[in-house]
């Protein structure tokens, strides 16, 4: 078991990673002094560990469709009926959409009640459940309403990952791959628990420096400017991690075109992404002009087109990248039919799994 501390000025917690760490839940709840717990779970009851206190178990569904203010309101209504107080605890068990919506309900209920996350997907373990960002969607877009609400503990039980479908694993591997370019060591070839621990450690150090995402936390969005655009351009046929993977390859191509890195480093982007079995090409269906338009609307684009790009001093946020340079770099990317990219991703995931065994 690995324990990664996350130390903030007024709140600290540990992220536990390893097989069976979910059984630490009762000890975490005991230390919080909670007398009641509400567990909101998108997984079967047998996946939810004992809390050690009187517990209300509420079913949830992973997926963007339930990441709404209506879900937050319904959860808070259940908290009231159960008699949950500010000294009790809310527990989330599920993928990143579940930890996001439950985290927001915990942030708002009684102006904030402790929350413990039990992320069950690789994406949620390496990224979504750590760092305190919670949010729901509006019809106008994803994650438009949210709050920073740090959990009291995160239990990344790697036993949960054994049943994940290949594409769900890829979703998390996209975030692990991008760590290569924002300060992590080379994680290729390491056992999954070590890759998770290294990714979480990197994220914890970044969040400690910039909890509210006003500076260095932008680094976590490596590959995301194009990644978000690709998710939308493909109507979410490309999963988040797959889109971030293509966005990471593109970040290399763009940094190369801007003279920030040499050709070997550009190629390293492709090699790392390919190693994890992730797609490296743009879908032929996504037209360059449409992608540029979507990137202009990305919420990270504060003034003009902004990308986190590698460079002589490492990765940094580069604002106002000329639109022509972006379009030109997009045109230099290899293209493949979307169906092939998704198929390649599934085959790639099985190959990577076999290689790891």
Q: Site residues (CB under 6 A) for ligand GLY?
A: 127, 131, 133, 213, 217, 220
How far apart are CB 325 and ligand GLY at their closest, in Å?
Answer: 25
Can you give the C-alpha Rg of the chain in angstroms?
Answer: 20
Q: Minimum Å distance from CB 131 to ligand GLY? A: 4
Rounded CA-CA distance 203/188 in Å is 18
For the bound state, the minimum distance from the C-beta of residue 266 to ligand GLY, rounded and expressed in Å, comes to: 24
SS3 152: coil
> Considering beta carbons, is residue 103 or 252 the nearer one to ligand GLY?
103
Minimum separation from the CB atom of position 219 to ligand GLY (A): 9
**For residue 268, what is the enclosing H or E element?**
helix 263-275
Neighbours of 77 (CB within 10 A): 10
Task: Give min distance, CB of 217 to ligand GLY, in A.
Answer: 5
Residue 203 Cβ, how far from ligand GLY at the closest point, in Å?
7
Q: What is the DSSP string of 281-338?
A: SEETTS-HHHHHHHHHT-TT-SSSEEEEE--TTS-EEEEEE-HHHHHHHHHTS-EE-H
Compare residues 133 and 260 and give the one whose CB is closer to ligand GLY: 133
Tokens coding 199: 């990714």
Cβ closer to ligand GLY: 22 or 240?
A: 240
Query: What is the Cα–Cα distance from 306 to 218, expressed in whole angstroms?
Result: 10
Half-sphere exposure of 181 (CA within 13 A, CB side): 38
Which one, 36 or 133, has the nearer CB to ligand GLY? 133
| Closer Cβ to ligand GLY, 39 or 179, answer by number | 179
**Based on CB atoms, which residue is closest to ligand GLY, 2 or 143?**
143
3 state SS of 59: strand
């Amino acid at each position: 078991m690995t324990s990664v501390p996350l130390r903030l000025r007024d709140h600290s917690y540990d992220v536990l990673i390893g097989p069976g760490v979910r059984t630490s839940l009762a000890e975490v709840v005991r230390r919080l002094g909670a007398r009641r717990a509400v567990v909101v779970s998108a997984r079967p009851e047998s996946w939810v560990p004992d809390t050690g206190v009187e517990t209300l178990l509420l079913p949830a569904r992973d997926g963007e469709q339930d990441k709404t203010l209506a879900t937050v309101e319904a959860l808070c209504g259940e908290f009231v009926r159960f008699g949950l107080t500010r000294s009790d605890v809310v527990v989330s068990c599920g993928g990143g959409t579940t930890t996001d919506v439950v985290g927001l309900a915990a942030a708002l209920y009684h102006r904030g009640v402790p929350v413990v996350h039990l992320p069950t997907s690789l994406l949620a373990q390496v990224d979504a459940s750590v760092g305190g960002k919670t949010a729901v969607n509006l019809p106008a877009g994803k994650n438009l309403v949210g709050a920073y609400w740090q959990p009291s503990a995160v239990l990344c039980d790697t036993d949960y990952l054994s049943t994940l479908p290949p594409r769900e694993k890829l979703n998390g591997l996209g975030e692990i791959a991008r760590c290569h370019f924002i300060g992590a060591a080379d994680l290729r070839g390491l056992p999954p628990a070590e890759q998770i621990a290294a990714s979480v450690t990197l994220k914890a150090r970044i969040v400690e420096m910039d909890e509210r995402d006003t500076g260095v936390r932008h680094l976590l969005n490596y590959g995301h400017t194009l990644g978000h655009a690709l998710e939308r351009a493909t109507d979410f046929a490309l999963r988040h991690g797959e889109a971030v993977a293509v966005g990471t390859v593109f970040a290399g191509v763009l940094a190369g075109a801007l003279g920030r890195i040499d050709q070997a480093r550009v190629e390293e982007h492709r090699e790392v992404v390919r190693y994890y079995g992730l797609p490296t090409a743009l879908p032929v269906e996504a037209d360059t002009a449409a992608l540029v338009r979507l990137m202009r609307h990305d919420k990270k684009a504060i003034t003009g087109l902004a990308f986190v790009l590698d460079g002589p001093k490492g990765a940094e946020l580069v604002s106002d990248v000329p639109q022509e340079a972006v379009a030109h770099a997009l045109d230099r990317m290899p293209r493949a039919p979307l169906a092939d990219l998704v198929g390649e991703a599934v085959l790639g995931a099985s190959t990577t799994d076999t290689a790891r065994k």
